[in-house]
Amino acid sequence: MPIVTIREALRQAMSEEMRRDPTVFLMGEEVAQYDGAYKVSQGMLDEFGPDRVVDTPIAENGFAGLGVGAAMAGMRPIIEFMTFNFSLVAFDQVINSAAKIYQMSAGQYRCPIVFRGPNGHAENLGGQHSTSADSLFAHFPGLKVVSVSTPHDAKGLLKTAIRDDNPVVFFESELMYGFKGEIPEGEYTIPFGLADMKREGTDVTLISWGKPVHTCLKAAETLAAEGISAQVLDLRSLRPLDHDAIFNAVAKTHRVVVVQEGHLYAGVAAEISARITESCFDLLDAPVLRVTNRDVVQPYATNLERLVVIDAGRVVEAVHRVMGRS
């Protein structure tokens, strides 16, 4: 199978869908003339022209709202936020318009739109550019929420998102656009609500999504050297959630650590922990633990940033606790 980067996988997904469906178009800051802030849309302006690859001003509320209106009128917009930190400016358009219009119009309007871009911290960007927004968007009915960790998942899930008749929030990572992996040749899609076991194991389950999946895989290697077999479950889809995969993983290992890039308080990890406790309490041999960023505003300085964000060492420490080895 061909090996591509995540940015190339995303570009293939968008380009293939734009060739297949003339109602699909891309809009966002620097997506056209500059080939994308992270070169995800490189070459797409030359192929599809300025009517379908549209540069916008730095006005997220405006172009997100324009996209919602276009979707209601029969188009399938892909709205790229340069970072999901900036999506907070457009939160009203995503939550109060895109997510709710189908119900509030009694089914007269659908909103087939994709909001995509990098989520979470990169490096040395400070508090206002390091927000992990997955918990914010996953909270609201009417949205589908996806977070990808590999080129294979990025392409297959983005194609599914573009074809979906509902608004989809699609999380990527600025630090992972150059990450390489295999993708199948030819057409393929990946359904929402289907988690993927990235590594099999028997002693403990590490549950994560997006960039931290690779932190979990690194931790699993360290644990294997200690004689602890850790499996890594990549949720991929936060809404809808693959409950069966989660509960089956709990039944197999009886110990769970949930790893999330965002803050501890009121996060997706807390929701997953609660659902496991409510539905699988008798299967647990230890409390569900969470590993998240420290519950502080992200610092700018490199040495302080490393103290705040999750790393494999903190995941290993949590596994030692659920295994009774601390």
What amino acid positions are annotated as catalytic residues?
Answer: 60, 129
Task: For residues 29 and 27, give the distance between their C-alpha atoms in angstroms, rounded to a whole number.
Answer: 7
Q: Is the dihedral of CA 4, 159, 262, 98 positive or negative?
A: positive
What type of residue is 164? D
Amino acid (one-letter) located at 132: S
Instruction: Please give the order of strands across the beta sheet that includes 230-234.
Output: 196-199, 230-234, 204-208, 256-263, 289-293
CB-CB contact of 158 with 14 (8 Å): yes
CA separation for the pair 109, 167 (Å, rounded): 12
Three-state SS at 141:
coil
Evaluate the CA torsion angle 158, 162, 168, 174 in order and state its sign.
positive
Residue 108: Cβ within 10 Å count = 9
For 220, residues 6+ apart whose C-beta sits below 8 A from its C-beta are 199, 201, 206, 230, 231, 232
